[in-house]
Amino acid sequence: MNTRKTIVWTKKDLLGLEYLSRQEIELILSTAESFKEVTTRQIKKVPALRGKTVVNLFYEPSTRTRVSFEVAAKRLSADVINISTETSSVKKGETLVDTGKNIEALKVDTIIMRHNCSGAAAMLARHVSASVINAGDGWHEHPTQALLDMFTLKEKLGRIEGLKVSIAGDIAHSRVARSNIWGLIKLGAEVTVCAPKILIPPGIEKMGVKVTNNIDEALAGADAVNVLRMQFERDQSNAFPKQLEYFKTFGVTRERLKKAKKDIVVMHPGPINRGIEMSSEVADGANSVILEQVTNGIAVRMAVLFLVAQANERLKNENTD
Amino acid sequence: MNTRKTIVWTKKDLLGLEYLSRQEIELILSTAESFKEVTTRQIKKVPALRGKTVVNLFYEPSTRTRVSFEVAAKRLSADVINISTETSSVKKGETLVDTGKNIEALKVDTIIMRHNCSGAAAMLARHVSASVINAGDGWHEHPTQALLDMFTLKEKLGRIEGLKVSIAGDIAHSRVARSNIWGLIKLGAEVTVCAPKILIPPGIEKMGVKVTNNIDEALAGADAVNVLRMQFERDQSNAFPKQLEYFKTFGVTRERLKKAKKDIVVMHPGPINRGIEMSSEVADGANSVILEQVTNGIAVRMAVLFLVAQANERLKNENTD
Amino acid sequence: MNTRKTIVWTKKDLLGLEYLSRQEIELILSTAESFKEVTTRQIKKVPALRGKTVVNLFYEPSTRTRVSFEVAAKRLSADVINISTETSSVKKGETLVDTGKNIEALKVDTIIMRHNCSGAAAMLARHVSASVINAGDGWHEHPTQALLDMFTLKEKLGRIEGLKVSIAGDIAHSRVARSNIWGLIKLGAEVTVCAPKILIPPGIEKMGVKVTNNIDEALAGADAVNVLRMQFERDQSNAFPKQLEYFKTFGVTRERLKKAKKDIVVMHPGPINRGIEMSSEVADGANSVILEQVTNGIAVRMAVLFLVAQANERLKNENTD
């Protein structure tokens, strides 16, 4: 605990957990703890970001993440501006950097960006002095999702260090998996990934994880399992037989959980495909913390918004000194 | 007047006027009266819902109702989050209950929902502890529209009890008609519905209304007529001849009003089809209160938002005691 | 300077620079100067429009202008409601005046409107007592864009009077050009427009401008050049050869600028087509003030929002006296 107190957040951006130290991740989680208390008050608002402007810049549709960030920013008293590509200048062929520089010229403080290209948030961050928060970039990272997963794990199990955590689903195309792996490994968890062979990216072992193609193996002895969403809607051909097959082979069911630790924590980033990656019984069962993850997302995003804003202000003051 | 004072609003939701007592409806109307005064001030804002989060969850496009609720919530100092299905997780196949539970997990206080299925708001309300306000569910109810209609009637004519009110238009497919009938009957008005036979739902008399297929009959002796929007845009085949025919047979015109009471109040939930269900002369004439209905919608929605939030807070405090 | 102090803004609307006096334009620019200071503070918010409701009513998609007005209004502490035609009652066939009257009935204070028809804002303004700000009407005017261009010019060059300003691009279809011409001429600048013959509207000389079809002529001796966006995306046939040809003949490049004044100010309303109307070197070069224009847009729009709100309040008080 003492180490945390001495750490100060100095980065203007949050781009991915790959780029953070263990201490920085712990600082976000402990800051989120204080903000979680705020969300239980009758008046759930604090003036921390009053007068600041936060832009949600979403190049992919996403209600859940956008709304979570919007609620978090408003609870910090920031002004929030939503921009989605459906209506944006992107249609007129503007480059990402030009869009970013134009948003920055509005004297905006923080840009939360989701983009379908890996590295988009990092590129934007290099070109603007506003803070950039990566809300998902291609298959690369989705750091606030992993942070809220870890926050929930720590809340449930008291620690991350030494935990056995399995991540099951389409690992190859999942930024949620990648951010969780970076974060969990840094905080000392043992991570196993589980998927059909074709959905395991080659060389994933180098990240320090074990690999299995057997869901029962992934569940056996695990303290927690993070079940990813299968995106069958992207390939409609024979979707139904494929979904049935996936559920039979990989679906997390009550029967399968019987062979796992009694208190195994079941997580899912949502939205759930009931009857595909997990059964409804599991999704709504005693081991599931899925809705608590959503609640914790607000506290974690408040923490991130607060820390990057504070760091950026310090940076700007140093530059003007 | 004394009865009103002794009534306290205890429901966490507003789902339909069918489920309210006369006293509860009168309580909403009298609360709205106080809020109407606020909207005439130079600073039209009160801190009643400061720190509360209100979500507009619209499964059907609706600018008018969404904006009216958004303005009402902001005048109460609430934070407002807009979600429309165009961009929502619904596209990803999430069920309504899952969507509701996820929104609730954001520690949101009130969900205002419009949905194309009858009973959707009631189902949501059973599954979430947040307050749910029905902003229109299929052909079932649109309670705040009926409340603003009744508020306007009472403002114009001093009472609802004993008034003769006709409702003209597509009664069969109108949630506005249904909510008005429940509310007006409970408050002691005499209600007549008027439409072509095919647009009168069988058994409507059981709700306590008279039925006519003759607009002149509906207007004769009525204190007020509520003219519903004809949704010809949903069936484009031969739309124009059908519209002309409807206007000839059922359109409310100056000529027809000449045979009605001189001070008959003409209402319409908007948007008006000029030259279809009523003539422009009538829409803009001295009997029309159409724009006053829009203004009163803010006060009525402020009242509903305020009452359900207060009741829900009491319920939550009781549960934690 | 003394003249400015004695002028009071009395118009409830801002419809176009054609309808303003030199003193009124100068009053907006000097008011914007004070607001620009606000945007440099740590807390960039002032309570000037607290409790006021501002509606962004956009019949054409536009992220840049909508966001700029939204940020400006929020920095003045107004509540902002966004309405875009994608989701609006317009789909249901409502007329513009009915839409305006309905919005006004919500007791909204200011309507910012973009519409594809020339004169739409003026028509709306005649029918509502709310303030109307024209955010672009067809090919007619886009007054706040011209005001921010002039604000930037004055900031860079200390004055407008006597400046030589060239406007290059599709003059015929540009509301930005038209508003700039009205404003610059009133404030005493010499204006030259430059475009291929087919994009020069007949009779433009009557506005008091010089005309050239040669970009080098337009640049020679100019204190500033305002380069308009070429809308090639509207005509996709042979777009690429036409773009190359345009760039070769009219594109503003470093080579061409070498023959211009060393300190020529290069402006562009954005979004830029790099390599079509100007080269990237010029867009990002030392003469470019393109991003400063964006920043100044906030201050100018805050000034306009503030002045029309103040004038409208005075008007309403006079009417009730």
C164 assigned to active site: no
List pLDDT tens digits, range B116-155: 999 999 999 999 999 999 999 999 999 999 999 999 999 9
**Contact flag B71-C50 (C-beta cutoff 8 Å):** no
List pLDDT tens digits, range C175-207: 999 999 999 999 999 999 999 999 999 999 999
pTM of the model: 0.94
A63 lies within 8 A of chain B by CB: yes
**According to the annotation, is C42 in a ligand binding site?**
no
C142 assigned to active site: yes
Assess whether A123 and A219 both reside in one domain. no
Amino acid present at C9: W
Residue B256 has pLDDT above 60, yes or no: yes
Could you please report the per-residue DSSP string of A129-190?
Answer: SSEEEEEEETTTB-HHHHHHHHHHHHHHHS-STT-EEEEES--TT-HHHHHHHHHHHHTT-E
Contacting subunits of C (3+ beta carbon pairs below 8 A): A, B
Q: What is the pLDDT of residue A318?
A: 86
Q: Binning pLDDT at 50, 70 and 90, where does residue C2 land? A: very low
Work out the mean pLDDT of chain A and round it to a whole number: 93
∠ Cα B301 B291 B16 (to 5°): 35
**Contact flag A273-B93 (C-beta cutoff 8 Å):** yes
Residue A218 has pLDDT above 50, yes or no: yes
Say which of B114, B178, B186, B301 is annotated catalytic. B114
3-state SS of C112-178 is: EEEECCCCHHHHHHHHCCCEEEEEEECCCECHHHHHHHHHHHHHHHCCCCCCEEEEECCHHHCHHHH
Assess whether C82 and C174 both reside in one domain. no
**Contact flag B106-A63 (C-beta cutoff 8 Å):** no
**According to the annotation, is C142 in a ligand binding site?**
yes
- What is the helix (H) or strand (E) element at residue A306, kind and residue range? helix A290-320
What is the distance between the alpha carbons of residues B31 and B25, in angstroms, rounded to a whole number? Answer: 10
Average pLDDT over residues C267-277: 94
- Look at residue C320 and tell me if it is in a domain: no
Q: What is the pLDDT of residue C295?
A: 97
Burial zone of A31 (CB within 10 Å; 0-12 exposed, 13-18 middle, 19+ buried) = buried
- Look at residue A232 and tell me if it is in a domain: yes
Which chain C residues are within 8 Å of A55, Cβ to Cβ? Answer: 67
A87 assigned to active site: no
Assess whether A151 and A278 both reside in one domain. yes
Average pLDDT over residues A118-138: 96
C195 lies within 8 A of chain B by CB: no
Which residue's structure tokens are 């950097």? A97
Asked if B184 and B160 touch (Cβ cutoff 8 Å), the reply is: yes
- Look at residue C29 and tell me if it is in a domain: yes
Contacting subunits of B (3+ beta carbon pairs below 8 A): A, C
Which chain A residues are within 8 Å of B52, Cβ to Cβ? Answer: 44
Give me the count of residues in chain B. Answer: 321
- Domain span at C68: 2-142+297-313
- Look at residue A276 and tell me if it is in a domain: yes
Phi, psi angle pair for B196, to nearest 5°: -60, 150
C242 lies within 8 A of chain A by CB: no
Q: Binning pLDDT at 50, 70 and 90, where does residue A222 land? A: very high
- C52-67 b/e (C-beta count within 10 Å ≥ 16 → b): bbbbbbbbbbbbbbbb
Q: Binning pLDDT at 50, 70 and 90, where does residue C238 land? A: low
∠ Cα C12 B68 B104 (to 5°): 135
Q: How many domains does chain B have?
A: 2
Asked if A154 and A190 touch (Cβ cutoff 8 Å), the reply is: no
- Look at residue A155 and tell me if it is in a domain: yes
Assess whether A119 and A211 both reside in one domain. no
Residue C89 has pLDDT above 50, yes or no: no
Assess whether C135 and C156 both reside in one domain. no
C178 assigned to active site: no
Q: List all residues 6 or more positions away from C286 whose beta carbon is below 8 Å from its beta carbon.
A: none
Which chain B residues are within 8 Å of C87, Cβ to Cβ? Answer: 61-63, 66, 84, 86
Assess whether C102 and C130 both reside in one domain. yes
Q: Residue B211: beta bridge partners?
A: B193
A98 lies within 8 A of chain C by CB: yes
Say which of A36, A115, A140, A142 is annotated catalytic. A142
What is the distance between the alpha carbons of residues B113 and A265, in angstroms, rounded to a whole number? Answer: 33
Q: Which of A87, A90, A91, A310 would you mutate first to test chain C, the one with the most C CBs within 10 A?
A: A87
What is the distance between the alpha carbons of residues B293 and B141, in angstroms, rounded to a whole number? Answer: 18
Which chain A residues are within 8 Å of B101, Cβ to Cβ? Answer: 291
List pLDDT tens digits, range A59-76: 988 889 999 999 999 999
Q: Which of A67, A82, A272, A293 would you mutate first to test chain B, the one with the most B CBs within 10 A?
A: A67
Nearest to A159 by CA among A265, A301, A17: A265
Q: What is the dihedral of CA B178, B180, B182, B185, to 10 degrees?
A: -140
A88 lies within 8 A of chain B by CB: no
Which chain C residues are within 8 Å of A102, Cβ to Cβ? Answer: 64, 270-271, 291, 294
Neighbours of B158 (CB within 10 A): 9
Q: Binning pLDDT at 50, 70 and 90, where does residue A250 land? A: very high
What is the distance between the alpha carbons of residues C131 and C110, in angstroms, rounded to a whole number? Answer: 5
Which chain B residues are within 8 Å of C101, Cβ to Cβ? Answer: 291
**According to the annotation, is C92 in a ligand binding site?**
yes
- Look at residue A107 and tell me if it is in a domain: yes
Q: Binning pLDDT at 50, 70 and 90, where does residue A103 land? A: very high
- Look at residue C208 and tell me if it is in a domain: yes
Q: Which of A70, A76, A81 would you mutate first to test chain C, the one with the most C CBs within 10 A?
A: A81
Q: What is the pLDDT of residue B40?
A: 82
Assess whether B131 and B119 both reside in one domain. yes
What is the distance between the alpha carbons of residues A261 and A221, in angstroms, rounded to a whole number? Answer: 6
Assess whether C168 and C278 both reside in one domain. yes
What is the distance between the alpha carbons of residues A125 and A13, in angstroms, rounded to a whole number? Answer: 7
Q: Which of B60, B63, B152 would you mutate first to test chain C, the one with the most C CBs within 10 A?
A: B63
Residue B39 has pLDDT above 90, yes or no: no
A39 assigned to active site: no
**Contact flag A63-B89 (C-beta cutoff 8 Å):** yes
Work out the mean pLDDT of chain C and round it to a whole number: 93
What is the distance between the alpha carbons of residues A150 and A136, in angstroms, rounded to a whole number? Answer: 17
> B-contacting residues of A 250-309, CB under 8 Å?
270-274, 291-292, 294-295, 297-298
- Look at residue A116 and tell me if it is in a domain: yes
Asked if B102 and A77 touch (Cβ cutoff 8 Å), the reply is: no
CATH of residue C306's domain is: 3.40.50.1370
Assess whether C72 and C176 both reside in one domain. no
Phi, psi angle pair for B262, to nearest 5°: -60, -40
Assess whether B24 and B78 both reside in one domain. yes
Q: Binning pLDDT at 50, 70 and 90, where does residue B321 land? A: low
C83 lies within 8 A of chain B by CB: yes
Assess whether A240 and A131 both reside in one domain. no
- What is the helix (H) or strand (E) element at residue C290, kind and residue range? helix C290-320
List pLDDT tens digits, range C248-265: 999 999 999 999 999 999
B37 lies within 8 A of chain C by CB: no
Residue C111 has pLDDT above 80, yes or no: yes
Assess whether C198 and C303 both reside in one domain. no
Residue C93 has pLDDT above 60, yes or no: no
Q: Binning pLDDT at 50, 70 and 90, where does residue C227 land? A: very high
When mean pLDDT is compared across B38-47, B74-83, B187-196, C299-308, the lowest value belongs to B38-47
Q: In what order do the strands lie in the sheet with C131-137?
A: C79-84, C53-58, C110-115, C131-137
B98 lies within 8 A of chain A by CB: yes
Average pLDDT over residues C238-246: 82
**Contact flag A272-B94 (C-beta cutoff 8 Å):** yes
